[in-house]
Chains A and B, each alone.
Chain A
Amino acid sequence: QSALTQPASVSGSPGQSITISCTGTSSDVGGYNYVSWYQQHPGKAPKLMIYDVRNRPSGVSNRFSGSKSGNTASLTISGLQAEDEADYYCSSYTSSTTVVFGGGTQLTVL
């Protein structure tokens, strides 16, 4: 199972919006609405930000939103804040009854 494809890095200024893409295949991202997104600060455990493509867990800011089109899922962060600087990972259920993560995207807030 190959990892989902994410850009290695993205950046934005405070207050701006950024979008991180996550590209898979019809056997994972495109085939199921089980895409989730995780935020990880250095030295910390990952934190769930989005699940089932677009749902936010309780306590996650509504500045975070998710979507999907075909084999590509996206995470959008609006009103960028310094605290958003972190690594972001997407994941998806697969037709092999396994789970696959993306390679991760480093977000820099300029």
Chain B
Amino acid sequence: EVQLVESGGGLVQPGGSLRLSCAASGFTFSTYWMSWVRQAPGKGLEWVANIKQDGSEKYHVDSVKGRFTISRDNARDSLYLQMNSLRAEDTAVYYCARGGNRKLDYWGQGTLVTVSS
């Protein structure tokens, strides 16, 4: 059974940093693109970033470029999102999902990030 479990969310002050993690199991992690998608409270889905199987290609939405970095550790079956210079508008549930550009076929339950003073 495919499982994706996010962790690392919490309350952080504006300008602060957080590192989200996503532990994958039930499939060969190293053979899939992986993605992060977020959803602000009461709002729609927003694609954040994705990363190729070997980490050689990474893409980020313009609003997080230079502040967020997606990465992965295939030896640990884990996906990460390093978030720096956090802003109030980054407040959202962050989902880890399996897949890249074509489809996101499995999603985690999400981890809540709240940016507030």
Contact = CB atoms under 8 A, between A and B. Distances in A.
B107 A46 contact: yes
Range of interface residues on B (Cβ < 8 Å):
20 to 34
A98 B61 contact: yes
Secondary structure at the A interface, as helix, strand, loop or mixed, is strand
Interface in A89-105: 89, 91, 93, 97-104
Interface of B: 35, 37, 44-47, 50, 59-62, 95, 101-110
Q: Which are the 5 A-B pairs with shortest beta-carbon distances?
A: A51-B103, A104-B44, A45-B107, A99-B47, A93-B101
Given A89-B45, A97-B101, 15 more contacts: A34-B101, A34-B102, A38-B45, A40-B45, A45-B109, A47-B107, A48-B103, A91-B45, A91-B47, A91-B104, A97-B59, A98-B60, A99-B50, A100-B47, A101-B37
